[in-house]
Structure 1
Amino acid sequence: MNAIIFYRLANYLYRKKIPLLPVLFKYLIFFVFNSVVPYSVVIGRNSKFAYGAIGVVIHSRTVIGDNVIIGQNVTIGRQLDPRGVPSIGNDVYISAGSRILGDIKVGNNVIIGANSVVIKDVPDNSIVAGVPAKIIRTIDRSIYDLFENIY
């Protein structure tokens, strides 16, 4: 069982302007997975949560691209500035415990290391890690070539 299924149903109902049911799915995700994944979030095709989405918190205005894997206990949200929320590109792997905060853009083909705190833009084809996160390596091939049996 994965929270992405419940999110997709809630998001579909939200886009069709069906009242109440999206809210019920949001609370179901909270009670089953201890996660906050609002129905208004935009999550692209083939994106999924690792371990069902245990402890994941996502801001309601976040945009997440295609083929993104979000690990457990990840937070994607704003800092104290109420205007900016993160935007995540395509083909991104967000490792367990990571925090992506503020009005930033995470590029395509990126790996975010475990327990990293990302508070600045991340360019395409990068691996970042640390607190605060810094580029530790650039890559010239798909991140999914680096992993075995992950997708």
Structure 2
Amino acid sequence: MFKKINKDIEYIMENDPAARSKIEVFLLYPSIHALISYRISHFFYNRSMFFIARLVSQLSRFITGIEIHPGAKIGEGILIDHGMGVVIGETTEIGNRITIYQGTTLGGTGKDVGKRHPTIGDDVMIGSGAKILGPIKIGNDVKIGANTVVLRDIPDGSTVVGIPGRIVRNNNLELISSYDNIDKNSNIPFKDI
């Protein structure tokens, strides 16, 4: 847990030009407070101590304005920049080196049971107000624009914008104008988290 917290602080130092020192990040950044609280609540959640896990999670939400369900699985090197209004659902899985901006939702699309939230690969940037909904997969090295609504899998190296989200660039393919140009049955490679 402490290794992941240290990686989170290091990632913030590398990616937030306003961060001046590790002590400043540790003491004054709601992002790191929410992640520390999440890592504590996740510890309890994994030991079936659900009430304590939710209590820690709710206190963190009240203090930081960032809601991370203790059941989510989050890698290391996470920056939640200007985090107010960020929501991360219970079955969400997030890789490493991720930047999430304010007002983002990684949520479900209804009352489904089982896996109902997105899986996010490594090295992903999620813009302000973006909504990534349902049990979809976002590949590695993906950029999701501000206020984009993503409802389908996104392959590695893509840039996605709009409502609904359209892939406008993919490092592995030519310029793409819409989801319709992607084989929806293709096997998109994802790393295990």
Normalising to structure 1: TM-score of the pair? 0.83
Q: Indicate the residue corresponding to 1:76 in structure 2.
A: 106
Q: Indicate the residue corresponding to 1:35 in structure 2.
A: 66
Q: Indicate the residue corresponding to 1:65 in structure 2.
A: 95
Root mean square deviation, CA, Å: 1.7
**Does residue 85 of structure 1 match 2:117?**
yes
- Match among 82, 98, 116 for residue 148 of structure 2: 116
Closer, same or farther: CA 119–81 of 1 in aligned 2, 3 Å: farther
Q: Distance in 2 between matches of 1:87 and 1:75?
A: 13
Q: Indicate the residue corresponding to 1:13 in structure 2.
A: 44
Q: Distance in 1 between matches of 2:40 and 2:111?
A: 31
**Does residue 24 of structure 1 match 2:55?**
yes
Q: Highest relative contact order (Cα 8 Å, sep 6+), 1 or 2? A: 1
2:167 maps to a residue whose letter is I
More displaced 10-residue stretch of structure 1: 7-16 or 116-125: 7-16
User: Any stretches of 5+ residues in structure 2 without a counterpart?
Assistant: 1-28, 173-193
Q: Distance in 2 between matches of 1:89 and 1:115?
A: 20
Closer, same or farther: CA 88–19 of 1 in aligned 2, 3 Å: closer
Aligned residues: 139
Q: CA deviation at 1:138?
A: 1.8
Q: CA deviation at 1:81?
A: 6.0
Contact 1:81 1:102 (8 Å CA) reproduced: no
2:91 maps to a residue whose letter is R
Q: CA deviation at 1:19?
A: 5.7
Q: Distance in 2 between matches of 1:110 and 1:82?
A: 26
Matches within 5 A, 1:98-113: 98-113=130-145
2:55 maps to a residue whose letter is L
Q: Distance in 2 between matches of 1:39 and 1:47?
A: 16
Q: Indicate the residue corresponding to 2:162 in structure 1.
A: 130
Structure in which a larger fraction of residues adopt helix: 2
Percent identity of paired positions between Structure 1 and Structure 2: 37
Q: Distance in 1 between matches of 2:39 and 2:102?
A: 18
Contact 1:111 1:127 (8 Å CA) reproduced: yes
* Cα deviations by residue, 1:18-67 (Å, 9 ceiling, x for unpaired): 5643222111122112232111100011123112x211112111111111
* Cα deviations by residue, 1:87-119 (Å, 9 ceiling, x for unpaired): 111111111100001121100110000000001
Q: CA deviation at 1:12?
A: 2.1
Larger radius of gyration: 2
Q: Indicate the residue corresponding to 1:146 in structure 2.
A: none
Normalising to structure 2: TM-score of the pair? 0.66
What is the DSSP-based 3-state SS (H/G/I as helix, E as strand, rest coil) of the residue aligned with 2:135? coil
